[in-house]
Amino acid sequence: MRSYQSVLILKPDIDEARVAEALETIGEFIKSNGGASLKIENWGKKRLAYRVKKNRFGIYLNLYHTLESAKVIELENKYKLYDLVIKFMVVRLEDDELERALGKETEAEEEKKSTD
């Protein structure tokens, strides 16, 4: 399985309970396609660079997950059909990028720090 990062922008007018519900639903999307969520971050409400579906603001979510390569298109289709998502992006990560994102340091970086 490959590692991916999904960045989603949700509608800005939903409350925290709906955001938590959306996170659960998105986690189910990933699990139903045979993947696993590794890390979920709620970046909160931010101003958008340009209007997206008539919205100036959006609630940003950042997810790190694993998924089969063939299932990415199905996941993207589920994102498109989910009414709370106004924009999304799925990016494939290399192993070292995933480790850095999850806060794990490689042995080489640890050795370099210990010698400095």
Enclosing H/E stretch for 67: strand 55-67
Amino acid identity of residue 75, one-letter, is L
CA contacts within 13 A on the Cβ side of 69: 3
Which pTM value belongs to this model? 0.81
**CATH for 2-95 (3.40.30.10, 3.40.50.10880, 3.40.50.12780, 3.30.70.60):** 3.30.70.60
63: left (phi over 0), alpha (psi -120 to 50) or beta: beta
pLDDT digits (tens, 9 = 90+) for 11-35: 999 999 999 999 999 999 999 988 9
Delimit the domains of the chain by residue range.
2-95
pLDDT digits (tens, 9 = 90+) for 35-52: 999 999 999 999 999 999
Structural contact between residues 74 and 33, judged by C-beta atoms closer than 8 angstroms: yes
